[in-house]
Structure 1
Amino acid sequence: MTNEKPAEEGASLLLDEQLCFALYAAHRAVTAAYRPLLDELGLTYPQYLVLLVLWDRGETTVKELASALRLDYGTMSPLLKRLETAGLVHRARAAHDERTVLIALTGRGEELRERAAVLPGALLSVAELSGPEAAHLRATLWQLAGRADAAAEKAR
């Protein structure tokens, strides 16, 4: 007999019974469903997420953008560089603090908003989700994310 704690009731090491794998599979499937829609806009999914934040908040700092998207600077920098090269955003040092980089939409980035407005509804349609179902799922996922963030923070 070992001193290990007994596994929680219902715990399983079967792949299809892992919550983390279901989330991973759902993420990949949603990203794949968005891909043809985003291809029409010339965007990748991470670029679309950056634009969503900018369309909502307007000019923002790289730090605030990274925090909103839960990404690190190493990921943000090349992502923003590609968006700038595509003419969708502009990066500039803040006048009050040259260490702070501000990100703003260009006119072209603003214009893309209208074309992108169909994406959320298109995903609900292809996933055959009603508005209330999507709202419930989103609330549940945000609750899970909050609990997982808290657990990760506690483990640090």
Structure 2
Amino acid sequence: MEPVTEATDPLALERQVCFALSVASRAVIGLYRPLLQPMGLTHPQYLAMLALWQHEPLSVKRLGELLQLDPGTLSPLLKRLEALGYISRERDARDERALSVTLTAEGRRLRAEAERIPPAIVSRLGMSLEELQDLHGALTRVIAAAQGG
């Protein structure tokens, strides 16, 4: 029987996809922090704003689906964005049970400031746009596979 080495050990930490994803996620989100701080946004709040800039207005339910967040996580995030004056939440006129999320004038204005973020992240990562697009594609496939799709 051959001795187990780092190269052959199926449980070697450095070989685990989950470990690489976890470290990469923390590191990349860390790059966003100083860029988001002047806007008063956390990374999850930034993702919500991205969804709203693209698809507004959105029901709270649809926003949760897009962000893949449960209501218990999404609700406090939206309350904070509303307190910052970036969004408003109102009952949907067509369905009183549903809350509709819309951007305020300040939330719309913030988009121009946020447009500086993607190129800054690309620059800080030091990777080509093609490499990042390939990575995005691979991660999208990982997400689909992990979700059984």
- Report the TM-score range of the alignment, normalised by the length of the smaller protein: over 0.9
Structure 2: segments with no counterpart, 5+ residues: 1-7
Q: CA deviation at 1:81?
A: 0.2
Q: CA deviation at 1:11?
A: 6.4
The TM-score, its normalising length taken from structure 2, stands at 0.92
Structure 1: segments with no counterpart, 5+ residues: 1-9, 152-156
How many equivalent pairs are there?
Answer: 142
**Aligned equivalents of 2:9, 2:125: Cα separation in 1:** 29
Matched AA of 1:79: L
Residue 111 in structure 1 maps to residue 117 in structure 2? no
Report the equivalent of 1:4: none
Matched AA of 2:24: A
Matched AA of 1:41: M
Partner SS, residue 97 of structure 1 = coil
Q: CA deviation at 1:97?
A: 1.3
Alignment root-mean-square deviation, CA:
1.1
The structure 2 residue matched to 1:30, chosen from 25, 28, 32, is 28
Report the equivalent of 2:71: 73
Partner SS, residue 10 of structure 2 = coil
Q: CA deviation at 1:95?
A: 1.3
Moved over 4 A (4+): none
Partner SS, residue 148 of structure 2 = helix
The TM-score, its normalising length taken from structure 1, stands at 0.88
Matched AA of 2:43: Y
**Aligned equivalents of 1:75, 1:12: Cα separation in 2:** 35
Provide the identity percentage: 44
Matched AA of 1:112: L
